[in-house]
Amino acid sequence: MRQPPPRRASVERVTRETRISGTVDLDGTGRYDVSTGIGFLDHMLEQLSRHSLIDLALRAEGDLHIDFHHTTEDTGYVVGAAVAKALGERRGITRYGSALIPMDETLTRVAIDVSNRPYLIWKVALSRPKLGEMDTELFKEWFHAFAQSAAVTLHVENLYGENSHHIVESCFKGLARALRQAVAIDPRAAEEVPSTKGTLGGPSS
């Protein structure tokens, strides 16, 4: 059997606001080395790596003296872009994944289609304006940036919950588990693009 190529990729993003480099290995073991300057975001990205089994190395320097917006959004772009690059033609992948994540009083549902068509549905309400020093409205920005640059259709819905920390963490863990399913190689179609069109992207793929 032909040895599949490694599914690893690195991406660098440099703007006037941020300087970010990231590397992923889709066939890793969930090892992470993350430093964004935002403690809570680091914690969420570590959860993403651990529960997806995608190795993630990320270094970010941003204009945190202004606020956390640019750094948060741009890390989403970098992680998503690295995933997209590592997927290549997306040949052989399972393509779809979903997860239902309980965390104490919270339950969150995440579904993903690694479709090469970016789209985000975000049905998550957070009662607290901040977690630590981080504005909770920025989590939607991270997921939107990830969906755009990874070119995935992503639905995130918090079904119920009270604790904002639990809600956000369940969203990242849900993405991790859904992504883990979706990027896995389907042994019955390891050489095939999972679409009747023979390519992913565009309508009705």
Q: Does the pLDDT value for residue 192 go beyond 80?
A: no
**pLDDT > 70: percent of the chain:** 90
Query: What is the tens place of the pLDDT at every residue in 57-70?
Result: 999 999 999 899 99
Can you give the pLDDT at residue 1? 43
pLDDT at 185 over 60: yes
Q: Does residue 63 contact residue 18 with C-beta atoms inside 8 Å?
A: yes
Least confident of 142-146, 165-169, 196-200: 196-200
196 pLDDT more than 50:
no
Asked whether residue 199 carries a pLDDT value surpassing 70, the answer given is no
The strand ranges marked E within the chain are: 8-14, 18-25, 32-35, 55-62, 96-103, 106-113, 119-123, 130-131, 134-135, 153-160
- Give residue 202's region: left, alpha or beta (phi > 0; psi -120 to 50): left
Predicted confidence band of residue 190 (pLDDT cuts 50, 70, 90): low
Q: Tell me the per-residue pLDDT of 115-147, one tens digit each, with 9 for 90 and over.
A: 999 999 999 999 999 998 899 999 999 999 999
Give me the residue label for tokens 């690893």.
8
Query: Looking at the domain that runs over 8-183, which CATH code has it been given?
Result: 3.30.230.40
Name the pLDDT band for 186 (thresholds 50, 70, 90).
Answer: confident
Cα–Cα distances in angstroms (integers) from residue 71 to residues 24, 28, 75, 128, 163, in the given order: 18, 25, 6, 21, 24
> Can you give the residue ranges of every domain in the chain?
8-183
- pLDDT tens, residue by residue, 149-163: 999 999 999 999 999
- Confidence band of 3 (pLDDT split at 50, 70, 90): low
**Confidence band for 195, pLDDT divided at 50, 70 and 90:** low
Q: What mean pLDDT, rounded, does the chain reach? A: 92
Residue 17 or 190, more confident: 17
